[in-house]
Structure 1
């Protein structure tokens, strides 16, 4: 499964609850990682720090996570986006 994560800054408007989520705001230092998916503490700090990266996660049946996170440049990201196009 490939997942693309986008961030936005300087948003205007109201955040709206949906069937899938109840949005909440947290200070960066207070992100409740214990309530998140198990891989979140591995990649969220890079995302919150503004890094552009490619990550690979392999989950086993015991909730173990093998992972690799690397900085990505424009060419790498463009190649991945091209692969994701139908």
Structure 2
């Protein structure tokens, strides 16, 4: 389950960067049509996976931050970082 969180966190962050670059440069509708749902799905996966993995409130609210929340949650869950 932790691998799922890591993968979803990376997809969430990368897709947000791609969407923002697209909006501020060429605004290609195909990128928006594919990237928007991908980002939203990854965001929801991060939230649900974090809820299933931990009961720590600090980790849960970090996961709810759009874009970087998954990376923050992974960092909080990984011991030794």
Query: TM-score by structure 1 length?
Result: 0.25
Q: Which has the higher helix share?
A: 2
Bigger strand share? 1
Structure with larger RCO (C-alpha < 8 A, sep 6+): 2
TM-score by length of 2: 0.26
Larger Rg: 1 or 2? 1
